Structures are given as C-alpha cells and as structure tokens.
C-alpha cells in the first residue's frame, strides 16, 4: 500500500470518528400505565379522566396522551435534534401485550427485558438519555441502578412515582384493565400473588404499615434501598450526569404528588408529606441522592397541570433543549 492509499484510509477513519462524535446522544423512552409504544400511529385518543369527567381534546398537543399515542412526541424530538435515534420501549411481542404489561406482570422481569434490549441495541452502545413517563420513570431508574452498561447519561422522569403511591388512580372510561387493577389493589397490594402479578402493587407504599411495605414490596423497596443498602445501586445512580424530575402540581393520578420529587408521607400517617430532603432516604443518603443534590445533578421541575399534561413548547425548551440536545 502506497503513501496515497495510507492517507486515503486515514482520512476515511478520521471522517468516521468525526461523524460518530457529532452524532446526537440517543434517547430511550418508557411510557406509562396503559399507554402504548409511541412508534404506532393510532386513530383514537383516550383522555385522562378528572373528577369532573373526561377532559375535552386539548389544543395543539397540550395533552401527553395525544403526543404519545400519535407518535408526535418522538417526532418532536427528531425534528428538534436532526439525526437523533429515538427508541420507544415495548414490553412483549406486540402492542396488545405492551398495554397489558402496563398493568400485569412482574416489574423486575420487565426491567430485565429492557436491560437486555438496550444492551443488544448497537445504536445505544455509546450511551443514551432516558425519558420515563409516569410509572416508566421509576422503571427507568431501576435500569440506571441495575444495568450501568451501556451508560445512561441523563434520566428525565415525568410524574414518576419514586416513593410509590398510597391512593388509587383514576381510570379512563371503559378501560377494563385499569378497573381490574383498582379492584386488585383494593383487595390487598401486599398479598403475595397480587404483589407478584400486579404492576401497580409493586410500587404501592403504605405509610401506615412501613414494615409490611419493606418486607413485601418486591420492586420499589428494593430500588429505594429500604431494607439493605445495595452499594451498586448507589454507585450506578450517581453516575448519571443529570437526574430531572418533573412534578405535576395538580396531579389527580399520583397520591401523593410529592412522590414525583421523592417526597412522601411521614411514617405512621397519611396526611403530613415530607419533602425529599427531610426523608431518611436522603438524610442517610441510601441512594446517593444527597450527594447528587450537592453536586448539582438533581433538577426539580414543576408544571401547573394535571398528570402528564404539558405543551410542546415547554417540552422542547425546558426538557429537550436543556437535557437531550
């Protein structure tokens, strides 16, 4: 091989390296309860139900479900960041299984499945950002804690229940899966077969029976280091460059809404809510959140609206431009 050939090969390699460096960081999305994978175009939209009844269709993408179910959320990101790879996670083999798994199944198995999919995706091997909507938020946090490779860089959760819930969510009209979920939670979240098969039971946090929660919860108590401090969880979570938590101030789905910022009821009662900084989780730094807070890695954002209601301008300017670009 002559000098010209060597120079040509070196130039090709240099261009390849430059292209890889200029390529945007990929984005992984995990949707919430009952929402389907955003890659699918649907003809119907289900709106969240408020105490006053179903909300009317919002104007210009002001409802997350409209964004999600029409694939517009993915499109918004792709238009804002040309060339970005966006992967919307699907649990199971098809959209029907994906929706069912939002209510029924073992969350630990779902997290394992996602870890395997991420590890096998060649587009994600250089690292990725992650967005979790509603329960998808704490599920992606579990991915960050348990599966550090490839590296999750920024984790953004929208209405995630990081300290769990102690209240039954509203169900959209005629959603039989959601109604069955409510029935089983009423029956008993910590009954063994319910705990192992109902997704929402696995982040049910009863402040009146903290010992039962710590002993029976197969998912939330584990990823929150409630019983035993798993040092690998702490170290892996601290590797995040940014952990962004979006709370919806008028949330009618998450009880208490402060759970979206890691706040929760003071143990032994269900009226006084402690902010993250006053919880034992933070004081004892069981997850490394105190250290991350000191380092400026925690970001607490709020939206004056109900669960997962935000407009596209806010999403692009406050989330995409600051934590995804």
The predicted pLDDT at position 6 comes to: 53
Cis, bond preceding 177 (omega within 30 deg of 0):
no
- Joined together, the tokens standing for residue 93 give 């083999």
The predicted pLDDT at position 59 comes to: 34
Helix (H/G/I), strand (E/B), else coil: 83: coil
> E strand or H helix at 133, and its extent?
strand 128-133
Question: Are 189 and 195 spatial neighbours (Cβ–Cβ below 8 Å)?
Answer: yes
Question: Above 80 in pLDDT, residue 94?
Answer: no
What average pLDDT does range 225-233 have in this prediction? Answer: 96
Using 50, 70 and 90 to split pLDDT, how confident is the model at 173? low
Using 50, 70 and 90 to split pLDDT, how confident is the model at 100? confident
The predicted pLDDT at position 33 comes to: 74
What is the distance, to the nearest Å, from the Cα of residue 32 to the centroid of all Cα atoms in its chain? Answer: 8
The catalytic residues are 134, 251, 307
Tens-digit pLDDT profile for residues 241-280: 999 999 999 999 999 999 999 999 999 998 999 999 999 9
Which class for 222: exposed (0-12), middle (13-18), buried (19 or more C-beta within 10 A)?
Answer: buried
Using 50, 70 and 90 to split pLDDT, how confident is the model at 21? low
Least confident of 91-100, 198-207, 303-312: 91-100
End-to-end Cα spacing for the chain = 42
Among candidate residues 126, 119, 128, 127, the one with its CA nearest the CA of residue 77:
128
Tens-digit pLDDT profile for residues 106-139: 999 999 999 999 999 999 999 999 999 999 999 9
The predicted pLDDT at position 97 comes to: 78
Could you tell me which residue, 188 or 240, shows the higher pLDDT?
A: 240
Using 50, 70 and 90 to split pLDDT, how confident is the model at 40? very low
Question: Are 42 and 69 spatial neighbours (Cβ–Cβ below 8 Å)?
Answer: yes
The predicted pLDDT at position 73 comes to: 87
Which class for 33: exposed (0-12), middle (13-18), buried (19 or more C-beta within 10 A)?
Answer: buried
Could you tell me which residue, 57 or 33, shows the higher pLDDT?
A: 33
In terms of DSSP bridges, do strands 53-54 and 49-50 run parallel, antiparallel, or are they unpaired? antiparallel
The predicted pLDDT at position 56 comes to: 38
The predicted pLDDT at position 51 comes to: 36
In b/e form, how buried is each residue of 45-76, taking b as 16+ CB within 10 angstroms? ebbbbeeeeeeeeeeebbbbbbbbbbbbbbeb
Q: How far is CA 155 from CA 133, 264, 324, in A?
A: 11, 21, 10
What is the distance, to the nearest Å, from the Cα of residue 193 to the centroid of all Cα atoms in its chain? Answer: 25
């Amino acid at each position: 091989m002559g000098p010209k050939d060597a120079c040509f090969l070196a130039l090709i390699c240099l261009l390849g390296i430059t292209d890889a460096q200029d390529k945007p960081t990929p984005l992984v999305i995990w949707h919430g309860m009952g929402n389907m994978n955003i890659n699918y175009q649907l003809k119907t939209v289900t709106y969240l139900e408020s105490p006053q009844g179903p909300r009317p269709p919002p104007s210009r993408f002001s409802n997350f479900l409209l964004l999600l179910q029409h694939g517009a959320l993915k499109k918004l990101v792709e238009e804002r960041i040309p060339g970005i790879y966006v992967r919307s996670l699907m649990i199971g083999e098809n959209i029907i299984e994906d929706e069912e798994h939002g209510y029924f199944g073992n969350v630990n198995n779902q997290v394992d499945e996602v870890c395997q999919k991420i590890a096998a995706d060649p587009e994600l091997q250089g690292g990725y950002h992650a967005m979790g909507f509603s329960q998808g938020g704490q599920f992606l946090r579990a991915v960050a804690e348990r599966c550090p490779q490839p590296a999750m860089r920024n984790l953004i959760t929208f209405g995630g229940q990081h300290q769990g819930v102690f209240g039954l969510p509203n169900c959209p009209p005629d959603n039989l899966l959601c109604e069955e979920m409510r029935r089983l939670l009423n029956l008993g979240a910590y009954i063994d077969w319910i705990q192992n098969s109902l997704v929402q039971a696995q982040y049910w946090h009863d402040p009146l029976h903290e010992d039962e929660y710590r002993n029976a919860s197969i998912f939330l108590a584990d990823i929150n280091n409630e019983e035993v401090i798993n040092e690998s969880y702490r170290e892996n979570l601290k590797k995040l460059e940014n952990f962004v938590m979006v709370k919806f101030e008028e949330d009618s789905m998450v009880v208490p809404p402060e759970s979206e910022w890691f706040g929760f009821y003071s143990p032994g009662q269900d009226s006084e809510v402690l902010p993250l900084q006053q919880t034992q989780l933070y004081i004892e730094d069981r997850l490394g959140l105190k250290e991350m807070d000191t380092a400026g890695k925690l970001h607490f954002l709020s939206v004056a609206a109900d669960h997962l209601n935000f407009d596209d301008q806010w999403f692009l300017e406050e989330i995409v431009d600051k934590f995804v670009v």
